[in-house]
Chain A
């Protein structure tokens, strides 16, 4: 987990990072993937773990080798996914799906590093798919953004997917 001091950031930082999240969502909605990549740090970590439903009182041992992931990506892997989406051969995205992200519950906190901020947010991804059906994917996000020069870049994103069974046939979207 990210180390968080519950210290609200200064107003300017809050505004800048909230705008950053909205801008990011619009780039992704519009499939402007190359511009999205420019918002990421070279050492970005982009992660969504697998989960299961367990009783609150459950004391069974953790799974050997680990839970596994939906995303366990660095910059190279994110580029790989974008190369695939850009190949012209991803039939599930042609015609394009109608995809719209709603980003909300933005909370900006100072991080331990002076040039970093921790940002919590919620994203709802509305996908109206080729079959005419709509799927909604909801996730919580905890990000670490780093100030590089004048602009903020995403250093780490931990995504908590709120579905025990994925209600769609693919995850050709970024959260």
Chain B
């Protein structure tokens, strides 16, 4: 397969085969999920020593474990004897993990700690040090978010995130207390290729007024992105589509309150924002403290992590073949929030973007049908387009990235597929380009 033909960023074209082809999917597992930094867990989900959390990296089952010294390790969740899954719980606290098949047991640091009949059956000849759990090559944390990477040659997490940190920090670092994910994991199977929900959330402001019209009519306080019900009219001025940051993206309002204005009773949330605004400005500077903190923001970390400060949902998509994902969602809070506000956020997140979410429930079937319509003999040879507002982007004072005005453009989606193509074409990290367009640091250097 020639990956160069699958995506054309200059025209916004994608081949539909990228949503259905098994060989392309196998290559994604190797070159995207096998190479990129993938979100594993939030530090708040494993606060105590021996706390563990089970997740996936691509299709590989992984356990993330808090160590005695406070550090975090991650291991493939598979027994080194015959391959059985060693941990079958979603989360918890365990002093050891004992395999159900023959009873090998592993310590939280991955060491093989016990082998039944070790002397009698193995004659004492088993070198336990060679049969510990297999660790994920790199594990690193950025301000509470724990990521793993299967590729020992991958750049550091800091470099990988690059200038996307400017936007990430609006949630992660606005206040000194840091952040948490709350609630149990909301898990749902969707019959979609994994890229479709990512492109939907990373840049598709266009679908809000139409796909979610029913919910928008019912929940009239939610004027998402300035769109009217039925996409009949729109105020497209009010935000930015930010891309060109190593495949990471942001879609943001600039008013500093819109995220919380969507709540049914916004008053306590807005009071919280105003009480803490000076601190946020002090920590993030005027632009971010005034314009971004409190705004509705969609943030995408390539390839499969997305979160929305404001509506406060945090989500990863785990691929299960070319045509299926598990979508995992949590509510996100700032630790400095009063308990009532945290509870309101959890409740509202479940109501809007939970398993029975008024908005979330509109997206799944569209994504599934786009996937299915890429699988036929004829449709798999056809193309789809993200060609809205081509070429209408550039630098913007005070913000890093290549930026298009407003939330309704397909600017971010094109960068998402460009990054996907760059990874799919590269045989190793040394062939993957790094770019943080219009970086603030470089512009200051030019100005000086």
Contact = CB atoms under 8 A, between A and B. Distances in A.
Interface string B38-78: 00000010011001000000000000000000000000000
Nearest to A164: B187
Given A65-B339, A83-B218, A87-B214, A54 B365 contact: no
Interface residues of A, number: 45
B355 A63 contact: no
Nearest to B215: A84
B350 A55 contact: no
A60 B48 contact: yes
Contact of A84 (B47, B191, B217): B217
A172 B214 CA distance: 12
A2 B354 CA distance: 25
A161 to B, nearest CB: 8
B72 to A, nearest CB: 16
A76 to B, nearest CB: 9
A165 B89 contact: no
Interface stretch (B7-15, B340-348, B391-399, B434-442): B340-348
A60 B47 CA distance: 10
Contacts, number: 152
A168 B362 contact: no
A168 B189 contact: yes
Interface in A149-175: 164-172
Contacts of B183: 50, 63, 65-68
B188 interface: yes
Given A85-B214, A131-B369, A170-B362, 7 more contacts: A50-B185, A66-B183, A67-B183, A70-B354, A89-B230, A131-B191, A166-B355
24 contacts: A48-B356, A50-B183, A51-B184, A52-B90, A55-B92, A59-B93, A63-B183, A63-B184, A64-B180, A65-B342, A65-B346, A66-B182, A68-B350, A69-B347, A69-B354, A70-B350, A77-B351, A84-B218, A90-B362, A91-B211, A169-B191, A169-B368, A170-B361, A170-B364
Interface of A: 48, 50-55, 58-61, 63-72, 77, 80-81, 83-85, 87-92, 129-131, 164-172
